[in-house]
Amino acid sequence: MSSISHYCVERRLSACLSKHISQETPYYFAMTQPRLLVIQHDLDDALNDLTAPLLDAGLMIDTWCTFRSDAPDEPLESFDGVLSLGALASATEEDSTPWIRGEIAVLEEALARRMPILGVCFGAQLLARAAGGRVYRSPVAEIGWFEVTMALEAAADPVLGSLGPNLHVFQSHYDTFDLPAEATVLGRTGELTEAFRIGDRAWAVQFHIEANPSLVYSWLAVYKDAMLKAGVDIDELRRFTASYWREYRQASWDLATAFAGEVWAAKA
């Protein structure tokens, strides 16, 4: 393992593993916790509020940082699930962003292996492409807080069912997608798809379920001009962040916990 990739890889065991591991637990069990490959595309968009529930559920987290390396350090078969995060890049920019093709190949392999997958924003768009869908510029940029209405089918979904019938979510994207025929749309804002499932082990949300106030305010500081150009009401964004974040944090915890359960089940 190179020093660069070693710097990027995170292997964390939660202090809360006590719910899964006790002093009587065999050593081999403690060493075979499910491994989740997290794909991080930008330095300022990490797991954030998804970290604690994933660790609390007993997963080991290994991070492939695409801004440091064009491929993960280990073959996909070494992992039990995949989580792809957001990115500044567009999912259509593979000619100028060489790692995009490599990540699509990883997601295609994960789909073929029926591994649990969770795509977030850009990760959702790449998952759509990996499954045969099309990503393109959205007629409406979604930046700020939006209410997502979940489909009736979502209530019975083992992962996205945790979100309830509707939820205010934080969004920051300019692209959208058309899904392949086998996909199930589970959430929308108007005509735009915000949540979907591919098969029975791959899920995606177009919104930033990992976001917390610190992340939102840091993006506001860095990208304020772009937000203003897109017509974002900055004062409203601040008010909505203060109003919605506690509910949103619970939603991110519930979704991450449900997804971790699918990773455990797939490893069993």
Q: What is the domain-level CATH number for residue 194?
A: 3.40.50.880
Position 248 scores a pLDDT of 97
**pLDDT tens, residue by residue, 63-98:** 999 999 999 999 999 999 999 999 999 999 999 998
CA distance 195 to 183: 10
DSSP H/E element including 240: helix 234-267
CA–CA dist 10, 159 (Å, integer): 24
DSSP for residue 247? H
Residue position matching structure tokens 């962040």 = 241
User: 72 has which bridge partners?
Assistant: none
Spacing of C-alpha 73 from chain mean position? 20
What pLDDT does 27 receive? Answer: 46
Annotated catalytic residues are: 121, 208, 210
Quick one: tokens of 22? Answer: 């006790």
Instruction: Render 45-97 in DSSP notation, one character per residue.
Output: ---GGGHHHHHHTT-EEEEEETTT-SS-SS-GGG-SEEEE---SS-TT-TTT-
Provide the mean pLDDT of the chain. Answer: 90
The pLDDT score that the predictor gives to residue 14 is: 38
DSSP 9-33: ------GGGGGT--TTS-HHHHTT-
pLDDT at 133: 97
- The mean pLDDT values, 10 residues at a time, for the chain of 268 residues are 35 39 47 93 94 98 95 96 97 92 98 99 98 95 96 98 97 96 96 97 98 95 93 95 97 98 95
CA dist list (Å): 76 to 18, 93, 121, 176: 28, 24, 22, 27
Tell me the residue range of the domain where 57 lies: 3-267
pLDDT at 31: 63
- Tell me the one-letter amino acid at 26: P
Report the first-to-last Cα separation within the chain, whole angstroms.
28
117-120 vs 166-178, strand pairing mode: unpaired
pLDDT at 21 (0 to 100): 43
List, for residues 107-118, the tens digit of each pLDDT value. Answer: 999 999 999 999
Number of domains in the chain: 1
- Both tokens of residue 19? 């719910």
**pTM for this one?**
0.89
Which residues, other chains included, contact 101 with Cβ-Cβ below 8 Å and sequence gap of 6+?
A: 94
